[in-house]
Amino acid sequence: MGKKETTYDEETKKLGYSMPDYYDFCKTHYMRPLFYRMILWATYSFWAGFVSFATAFYAYSDGMGIGGKSGRTNDMWAMAFVSFTANIALHHAQIMLTIRNYTVVLMGWCVFSMLMFIPFTVSFVDFWVGIPLLHRQYSEILGLEAGMFWAILVLSALLTSLPILMFKAAKMVLYAPQFFK
């Protein structure tokens, strides 16, 4: 007497491969690398957040934290504003580093995105009636603290973009050079 075929055996014949073997292949070649990339991305996100906060926090406070040498609380608005601007600059740097197909439409959207923040949103908040920080943000960008603002912004964007750039360079040179000619 022969062995009775189950629905599983019938489906395996139709597919042409074994489902447990396919599951093992997917686990090894799709899920495990995805998990590793997720861990690396979470680590990178922590690094980027730390850098964008810490550079502003310690630069504006003479390396003392929130309390300055005089014992007074330093400018938390400036620290938050430059950290937020650094995150926006990092976002645009990531777009420039990871996209290989530069088009006029992409560049137009990037310029539009930056213009939505610096002139539009900053002006909206600066000139909104009833806010006690009237004209405060433009004094950060263009006023007496402009050197510190732009230095922190560039430093934060560079320190957070370098890991992406190094990964991309290693991928292009070592891992798969045939795709990056």
Residue 18's pLDDT is 77
Predicted confidence band at 39 (pLDDT cuts at 50, 70, 90)? very high
Asked if residue 2 belongs to a domain, the reply is: no
Instruction: Give the pLDDT of residue 133.
Output: 59
* pLDDT greater than 60 at residue 1: no
Q: Residue 167 domain-assigned?
A: yes
More confident residue, 32 or 93: 32
High-pLDDT (> 70) share of the chain, %: 78
For residues 92-111, one letter each, b for 16 or more C-beta atoms within 10 angstroms of the residue's C-beta and e for the rest, the string is bbbeeeeeeeeeeeeeeebe
Say if 1 falls within a structural domain: no
Domain housing 44: 7-179
Q: Is residue 62 part of a domain?
A: yes
Residue 78 lies in a domain: yes
Q: Rounded to two decimals, what is the model's pTM?
A: 0.65
- CA gyration radius for the chain? 26
User: 45 lies in a domain?
Assistant: yes
Strand partners, 67: 73
* Residue partners of 127: CB distance under 8 A and separation at least 6: 134, 135
- pLDDT one-digit tens code per residue, 106-163: 888 888 888 888 777 777 766 665 565 556 667 777 777 778 788 888 888 888 888 8
Confidence label for 42 from pLDDT (cuts 50, 70 and 90):
very high
Q: Report whether pLDDT(91) > 80.
A: yes
pLDDT at position 107 is 86
Residue 126: what residue type? D
What was the pLDDT predicted at 135?
63
d(CA 118, CA 70): 33
How many separate domains does the chain show? 1
In a domain, 34, yes or no: yes
Tokens 């040498």: give the residue.
Answer: 69
